[in-house]
Amino acid sequence: MIIDIVKEILIAKFGDEVIIAEERSHLQPALVIHPNFISDVCLTLRDHPETWFDFLSSLSGIDYGVEQKKFGVVYHLSSIIKNHQIVLKVMLENDRDENNLPVFKSVSTVWKTAEWHEREAFDLLGIYFENHPDLRRILLPDDWEGYPLRKDYKTAERYHQIKIDL
Amino acid sequence: MNYQEALTRYQHKINSVSSEEMVLNLGPQHPSTHGVLRLELITDGEIVKEVIPHLGYLHRCFEKHAEALNYAQIIPYTDRMDYLASMNNNHAFVMGVERMLGIENDIPKRVEYIRVLVCELNRIASHLIAVGTYGIDIGAFTPFLWCFRDREHIMNMLEWASGARMLYNYIWVGGLFYDVPVGFEERCQEFVAYFKPKMKELNELLTDNQIFISRTANVGILPLDVAINYGCSGPMLRGSGLKYDLRRVDEYSVYPELDFEIPYAKGEIGTVGDCWNRYKVRIDEIAESLKIIEQCTEKLTKEHKRTPDFDPRAKAPKKIVPKAQDFYIRSENPKGEIGFYFIADGKSDKPFRVKARGPSFSNLSVIPEISKGVMIADLVAIIGSIDIVLGEVDR
């Protein structure tokens, strides 16, 4: 299985601490990667001749709930040449303070498509990406306050004197 | 940490353009941006030096809505993402939920064939809009009218089946809203017979038109490696010369049983990866979709014929509660790879998180890269050739 190959490659290159956990019970096996390594891991998996994960299908920011105090990013990688897929996850504890966003390393240097996906995660979930070339809000206006996809988000009453009706 | 650093940098860039440069807004009300897309151009005379896209004018936060609704109630919201190809969105979403429930092999064949039939009809309708509006973008008015005339037949057929012209909510988890009406298969066959010569006419009018070729060939060349790196999919990727279609790669639904080719750019005119080749991929895909429709109607009238006791909702679960898991489903939408990422908590009938990966969103992100140094008129040709739907870009 591809997950074993990936695991072998990563442990050989970065050591044991790179993989925190693995999820094999689901339909799609996933590896939980240490947040410090994520951009290097992605670069390795993209360029390694056995994996060739040249296509980033999706990048999703996740808020794991108010009780969990945890944020994460899920990467869906696929290889066009080899026709296989893998899921990578990174997670960080965070106290949900808007002045202290969870910070992950950007993978936009590995796949350019991550640039907009990461902007979306920043915009809607307040996940900050280090070394991102242009981390502005993308879907919401630049002066929007708060991060709507967070589980504890409260809709503002007004936006520039416009009443927000629900 | 300063989270506004990139915003300040962007504002500084716009405020400090040199005197020979001009900042020009294309959109959000410009017809050639195909919706409410705003492109901020830094131009030097007629040359575009930089493109900064601004999105979000149509943002509804589909993902937030999805967290508050149960799985069956989300399907109408997926309609409104890519509103020109609602069936394909329904299909992708429903497939994902079915796989999470583990019922994807229980779906009757007749239901699967009807799903593929309506999806391919919708694919033709979507490509007709892409081709027609692309014509009008660069000054050819007649193809637009012809495409809309023929699309109207498809709209009427899908309305007959589902009750709605554009936003169908037709494909349900475990089945369909209803069986197709009596006589639908025959009408599809009539449509194919009617439409084939019309495509030939359209090709004579637009595809081989010298003015059209001059405007599109060798314009906006997207090399394959750039396309892959920017996550482009669908006709964008195939237009760059890669034979890659998720209908064949993932072999979902009944596509493995159907005989069709995957068109990709060969560069008969212009260069592989230019606007003309992307356009041509769509034209060829229409022909392939017609082939699929013929095969589906054949199967639906013979092998998987309508029977009086057939109930398309028979396998539909009363309450949809998937086990605790996360799952990513991808499928081929007319624009490219549409994906849904679900996180189910195993207790409720509402998803914990749904992330939608819209193909138009990723396809559009390549625009700043391929339109550096082009003329403004060519930029219009490039936007049209990407075929975006803002409902999906903004979600």
Per CB-CB distance under 8 Å, the chain B contacts of A115 are: 365
Q: Domains plus CATH for chain A?
A: 2-153 (3.30.460.80)
Distances in Å between the Cα of A163 and the Cα atoms of B60, B137, B193 are 16, 37, 53
Least confident of A140-144, A149-153, B169-173, B309-313: B309-313
Stretch B323-328: mean pLDDT, rounded?
88
d(CA A145, CA A123): 10
* Nearest Cα residue in chain B from A142: B7
* Cβ-defined contact of A76 to B63 (cutoff 8 Å): no
d(CA B178, CA A108): 45
Stretch A32-55: mean pLDDT, rounded?
89
Q: At what angle do helices B109-137 and B86-101 cross, to 10 degrees?
A: 140
Kindly calculate the radius of gyration of chain B based on its CA atoms and give it in whole angstroms.
Answer: 22
Task: Please give, rounded to a whole number of angstroms, the shortest distance from the CA of B327 to a CA of chain A.
Answer: 7
pTM: 0.90
Stretch B160-180: mean pLDDT, rounded?
88
A86: which residues sit within 8 A by CB, 6+ positions away?
A2, A3, A6, A29, A30, A31, A45, A51, A53, A77, A78
Q: Tell me the per-residue pLDDT of B330-358, one tens digit each, with 9 for 90 and over.
A: 999 999 999 999 998 888 888 999 999 98
Q: Tell me the per-residue pLDDT of B220-268, one tens digit each, with 9 for 90 and over.
A: 899 999 999 998 999 999 999 899 999 888 888 889 988 998 999 888 8
d(CA B11, CA A51): 41
User: ∠ CA A127-A132-A133 to the nearest 5 degrees?
Assistant: 140
Stretch A48-66: mean pLDDT, rounded?
89
* Cβ-defined contact of B361 to A116 (cutoff 8 Å): yes
Please provide the average confidence, as pLDDT, over all residues in chain B: 89
A and B: number of Cβ contacts within 8 A: 100
d(CA B286, CA B120): 9
* Cβ-defined contact of A138 to B249 (cutoff 8 Å): no
SS3 category, A71: strand
Q: What is the token pair recorded at B244?
A: 């890659």
| pLDDT of B30 over the 80 cut | no
CA terminus-to-terminus distance, chain B: 30
* Nearest Cα residue in chain A from B390: A139
A160: which residues sit within 8 A by CB, 6+ positions away?
none
A126: which residues sit within 8 A by CB, 6+ positions away?
A98, A101, A102, A147, A150
Q: Tell me the per-residue pLDDT of B256-268, one tens digit each, with 9 for 90 and over.
A: 988 998 999 888 8
Q: Hey, is the C-beta of A155 within 8 angstroms of any chain B C-beta? A: no
Stretch A59-63: mean pLDDT, rounded?
91
% of chain B at pLDDT higher than 90: 33
Stretch A113-133: mean pLDDT, rounded?
91
Do B38 and B57 form a contact (C-beta atoms < 8 A)?
yes
* Nearest Cα residue in chain B from A152: B64
d(CA A102, CA A122): 10
Residue-level pLDDT at B28: 85
Distances in Å between the Cα of B127 and the Cα atoms of B147, B249, B286 are 9, 21, 7
Least confident of A127-131, B103-107, B234-238: B103-107
ipTM above 0.85, yes or no: yes
Q: At what angle do helices B275-301 and B184-202 cross, to 10 degrees?
A: 160
Do B307 and B221 form a contact (C-beta atoms < 8 A)?
no
d(CA A35, CA A107): 12
Residue-level pLDDT at B341: 93
Question: Running DSSP on this structure, what letter comes out for residue A27?
Answer: S
- How far is it between the farthest Cα atoms of chain B? 75
Q: What are the helix and strand counts (H, E) for chain A?
A: 3, 9
Stretch B143-166: mean pLDDT, rounded?
90
Burial of B348 by CB count in 10 Å (0-12 exposed, 13-18 middle, 19+ buried)? exposed
Q: Is the dihedral of CA B30, B35, B37, B42 positive or negative?
A: negative
Do B300 and B117 form a contact (C-beta atoms < 8 A)?
yes
The strand order across the sheet containing B22-26 reads: B22-26, B38-44, B47-54
Band of pLDDT at residue A166, cut at 50, 70 and 90: low
Q: Hey, is the C-beta of A143 within 8 angstroms of any chain B C-beta? A: no
| pLDDT of A127 over the 80 cut | yes
Q: What is the token pair recorded at B125?
A: 């309708």
% of chain B at pLDDT higher than 70: 100
Q: Tell me the per-residue pLDDT of A68-118, one tens digit each, with 9 for 90 and over.
A: 888 999 999 999 988 888 999 999 888 888 888 899 999 989 999 999 999
- How far is it between the farthest Cα atoms of chain A? 57
**What is the CB-side half-sphere exposure of residue A101 using CA atoms within 13 A?**
21
* Nearest Cα residue in chain A from B244: A80
CATH topology of domain B105-312+368-394: Cytochrome-c3 Hydrogenase; chain B (1.10.645)
d(CA B252, CA B255): 6
Give the best residue of A25, A43, A57, A106 to mutate against chain B (max B CB count within 10 A): A57
Which DSSP helix (H) or strand (E) runs through A91? strand A84-93
Residue type, B14: I
- Residue B92's nearest CA partner among A57, A135, A47 is A57
Band of pLDDT at residue B282, cut at 50, 70 and 90: very high
Residue type, B264: Y
**What is the CB-side half-sphere exposure of residue B255 using CA atoms within 13 A?**
19
- Residue B266's nearest CA partner among B230, B290, B236, B242 is B242
Task: Please give, rounded to a whole number of angstroms, the shortest distance from the CA of A117 to a CA of chain B.
Answer: 8
d(CA B183, CA A83): 40
How many CB atoms sit inside 10 A of residue A12's CB?
Answer: 9
Contacts with A, B 237-296, CB within 8 Å: 242, 244, 249
Q: Hey, is the C-beta of B365 within 8 angstroms of any chain A C-beta? A: yes
% of chain A at pLDDT higher than 90: 22
**Strand segments (E) across chain B:** 22-26, 38-44, 47-54, 171-172, 175-176, 325-333, 336-344, 353-357
User: ∠ CA B133-B138-B143 to the nearest 5 degrees?
Assistant: 45
Do A39 and A109 form a contact (C-beta atoms < 8 A)?
yes
* Cβ-defined contact of B242 to A80 (cutoff 8 Å): yes
Ordered by start, the domain boundaries in chain B are: 5-54, 105-312+368-394
Q: What is the token pair recorded at A25?
A: 């019970």
Task: Answer left, alpha or beta for residue B157, where phi above 0 means left and psi between -120 and 50 means alpha.
Answer: alpha
Beta bridge partners of residue B355, listed in sequence order: B341
Task: Answer left, alpha or beta for residue B172, where phi above 0 means left and psi between -120 and 50 means alpha.
Answer: beta
